[in-house]
Amino acid sequence: MTRQTFLTQNRSIFWFLLALAVFVLIVTVLSEATGNGMISTSFVKTLGKTLCLMLVAIAMDVVWGYTGILSLGHMAFFGIGGYMIGMWLMYARTEIIVSESLRAAAIPPTPEEIHDAIGTQIFGVVGSSDFPLIWAFASSFWAQLALVVLVPGVLALVFGWLAFRSRVTGVYLSILTQAMTLALSLYLFQNDSGLRGNNGLSGLQNLPGLDAVPQAQVSIAFFWASAVALGAGYLLFAWVVSGKMGSVIRGIRDNESRVRFLGYHVESYKLFVFTLTGIVAGIAGALYYPQAGIINPNEIAPIASIYLAVWVAIGGRGRLYGAALGAAFVSLLSSWFTGGGVPSIPLGFYTIQWTDWWLVLLGVSFVAVTLLAPKGIGGLFDLITARHAVPERVGDLGPDKGARRTVEGEEER
């Protein structure tokens, strides 16, 4: 029996990365920064944000589609990553503005005076001028970059450990993750949360020290970074769902009790997947919000995580490329409908405004896909690959002599 390599077992990796590379090349050539300007800077930002949403959707697919954990809290990790990098962006940009404004003073300001002035500029909107403890490392880019990974990771680790050790599963676990998200968003809405309450962090698109760099170049740089992160995330998760680990987590999804009976420490596998996907969601958020320009507690509200689950369901659970396609399809369609791209439909007695009806359309689409096409958009590729499917290999691979079994790890991802 010829042993297959990781890449040959996962044929979708090659095609996904190839499609991503071609897409990046086309956008780059047509952008205002490096090409002929057929694609506007604002649309490049939209595409960059879409790549970040595709990455968090893949993470959601691993935790839900492969492991069977319907998390309604992964957009909380996404938002936390955005807050962590947003703190440095806002502090560093405000520091430059304050330093330049005080430069003409007759008496040079002390570092303490500059620090106090920065605090007044940032927190004056909530009636404060003191830096909360959580801003202790806001002046350090590398420290905040580390917190992009550490804070979502630690939160996912602690929450997952408490939930999984208690063997909370199914809908009860989903409710717990949603409660965590709701509690976090409600806390961040408070002005004394340290993150400016409902105002959030703004002006994140203005990178400190790069005021002379056109936004067209900044947007294409973030677009490239988002594409690299998406490609690396796809490779990482394709490895996670392959081989023995992939078989175990799919076994947990299908029959957790049987996997535990076979001697596997189910809680450890679930905790690993939950924590890893939380970290990747935080990284995706750290790339998303500098392109969006602002983050506030609404981004962490439970409805955002529900949207994420809808994207994955429409794209096709249990397929990494399906989750990515679902996120791209729904998010771009949402931008088109809610951005006024679709004309209104006058009916005489009523005018359909798609900005108001988009969520209804999304809900109907979700129900239709669930009932009529449970494999989602990714299932369309089954129709193509079924014509070229490799005959199932048989042999003495099961516990009984002559049992018919597929070779572990050969299913397409």
| Cα Rg, the chain, nearest whole Å | 24
The answer to whether the beta carbons of residues 290 and 85 sit under 8 Å apart is: yes
Helices assigned H by DSSP within 103-169:
111-123, 141-165
Task: State how far the Cα of 33 lies from the Cα of 11, in Å rounded to an integer.
Answer: 34
Task: State how far the Cα of 162 lies from the Cα of 165, in Å rounded to an integer.
Answer: 6
221: left (phi over 0), alpha (psi -120 to 50) or beta: alpha
With 90 as the cut, is the pLDDT of residue 57 above it?
A: yes
Residue closest to 180 by CA, chosen among 265, 75, 32, 67: 75
Task: Quick: pLDDT tens for 101-126.
Answer: 877 777 777 778 888 888 888 888 88
Whole-number pLDDT of residue 408 = 42
Task: Quick: pLDDT tens for 296-319.
Answer: 998 898 888 998 999 999 888 888
Whole-number pLDDT of residue 55 = 96
Helices assigned H by DSSP within 339-410:
354-372, 380-385
With 80 as the cut, is the pLDDT of residue 387 above it?
A: no
352 — phi, psi (to 5°)?
Answer: -80, 110
The answer to whether the beta carbons of residues 98 and 118 sit under 8 Å apart is: yes
- 60-74, 365-379, 386-400: lowest mean pLDDT where? 386-400
With 70 as the cut, is the pLDDT of residue 407 above it?
A: no
Q: Tokens 């409710």 — which residue?
A: 175
Residue closest to 325 by CA, chosen among 381, 378, 379, 373: 378
Whole-number pLDDT of residue 123 = 87
Whole-number pLDDT of residue 279 = 97
Helix 215-240 and helix 243-261: axis angle, to 10°? 50
Task: State how far the Cα of 413 lies from the Cα of 396, in Å rounded to an integer.
Answer: 25
With 60 as the cut, is the pLDDT of residue 74 above it?
A: yes
Residue-wise burial string across 33-50, b where 16 or more C-beta atoms lie within 10 A, e elsewhere:
beeeeebebebbbbbbbb
With 90 as the cut, is the pLDDT of residue 366 above it?
A: no
Task: Quick: pLDDT tens for 162-205.
Answer: 999 988 888 999 999 999 999 999 999 988 888 988 888 988 88
Q: Which residues neighbour 5 within 8 Å (Cβ) at sequence distance 6 or greater?
A: none
Report residue 9's pLDDT band, with 50, 70 and 90 as the boundaries: low
Task: Quick: pLDDT tens for 322-359.
Answer: 899 999 988 888 888 777 677 777 777 777 777 777 78
DSSP-derived secondary structure letter, 401? T
Task: State how far the Cα of 302 lies from the Cα of 182, in Å rounded to an integer.
Answer: 6
Task: State how far the Cα of 181 lies from the Cα of 116, in Å rounded to an integer.
Answer: 33
Task: State how far the Cα of 160 lies from the Cα of 163, in Å rounded to an integer.
Answer: 5
Report residue 7's pLDDT band, with 50, 70 and 90 as the boundaries: low
Mean pLDDT of 154-164: 95
Task: State how far the Cα of 183 lies from the Cα of 302, in Å rounded to an integer.
Answer: 9
Task: State how far the Cα of 171 lies from the Cα of 35, in Å rounded to an integer.
Answer: 49
- 24-28, 176-180, 258-262, 351-355: lowest mean pLDDT where? 351-355
The answer to whether the beta carbons of residues 198 and 186 sit under 8 Å apart is: no
202 — phi, psi (to 5°)?
Answer: -125, 170
Mean pLDDT score of the chain, rounded to an integer?
Answer: 85
Report residue 388's pLDDT band, with 50, 70 and 90 as the boundaries: low
Q: Which residues neighbour 365 within 8 Å (Cβ) at sequence distance 6 or greater?
A: 314
Report residue 88's pLDDT band, with 50, 70 and 90 as the boundaries: very high
Whole-number pLDDT of residue 287 = 96
